[in-house]
Amino acid sequence: MKLHYQISGSGQPLLIIHGLFGSSDNWKMLAKKLSEHVQVITVDLRNHGRSPHSMDQDYKLMADDIAELIRDLGIQKLDLIGHSIGGKVAMTFSHYYPDYCRKLIVVDIAPKHYLPEHNSIFKALLSLDLSLFTKRSEIDKMLLKSISDKATRQFLLMNLDTSGDRITWRINLPSLFDNYPQLLQAVCIEHPITIPTCFIKGSLSNYIQDQDAQLIASVFSNSEIHTIEQAGHWLHAEQPEAFLIKINEFLDYA
């Protein structure tokens, strides 16, 4: 599948992979900063952003999509940053395509199986009849009934396309919901990976817990775990300076 992507800067290639309900647009500010040192490629996963839609979605397919993009761009070696399910995509890619990987950063997710904590979000989004709305603010008001956190609503509403005659979703919401069980699955746990890897977690997030350290070390034998203080799951948005410092340090950019 030919994915939508954006490129800025030049030099050592760095590919950034977003998480569930995200897109390459979420990483524009960080990409701009990093592009001062390297070539930054931000990508939309299948069924997200401006990439094509498909009824099929699992980690191997998404890793294959990334590999196709890398081949199309003629890249021989690159660094990877993956957030949330994008982190699992990056881990899966490092297993199937290790020769492409120089270093890997996995942001606030472990290779383990997760519980379906996004079901309430799916339910709220799928219940919306977008034909009834003419403004993004009207949809935000409706979502307030089921999603109280303003930052989460704003993040989700970035997936709305308001450029046409009617408001539509950019994401393939039905397919994401149907394939959600696949996205909860563990990855790479039977395939040790030696690529230098840094797991970065937020101190206020529960996605990577203390007991996950043993699993991470057993799968990623050349890895470290770093914590960003006063940050939750979207730590790159909540503590961008601390996050950027750790990226530059681990990837030897500055």
By the 8 A CB rule, do 172 and 34 touch?
Answer: no
Strand partners, 201: 227
| Three-state DSSP state, 155 | helix
| Three-state DSSP state, 187 | coil
- The owner of tokens 């079901």 is 119
Nearest to 224 by CA among 198, 201, 250: 198
Q: CA 98 → CA 80, 92, 93, 240, distances in Å?
A: 11, 10, 7, 28
Which residues, 6+ apart, have CB-to-CB distance to 202 below 8 Å?
A: 108, 227, 228, 231, 232, 233, 234, 235, 238, 239
Q: CA 186 → CA 109, 126, 177, 219, 234, distances in Å?
A: 11, 26, 18, 11, 21
Which residues, 6+ apart, have CB-to-CB distance to 24 below 8 Å?
A: 4, 5, 6, 16, 18, 42, 43, 44, 49
Instruction: Return the active site residues.
Output: 84, 233
Nearest to 63 by CA among 26, 83, 99, 88: 88
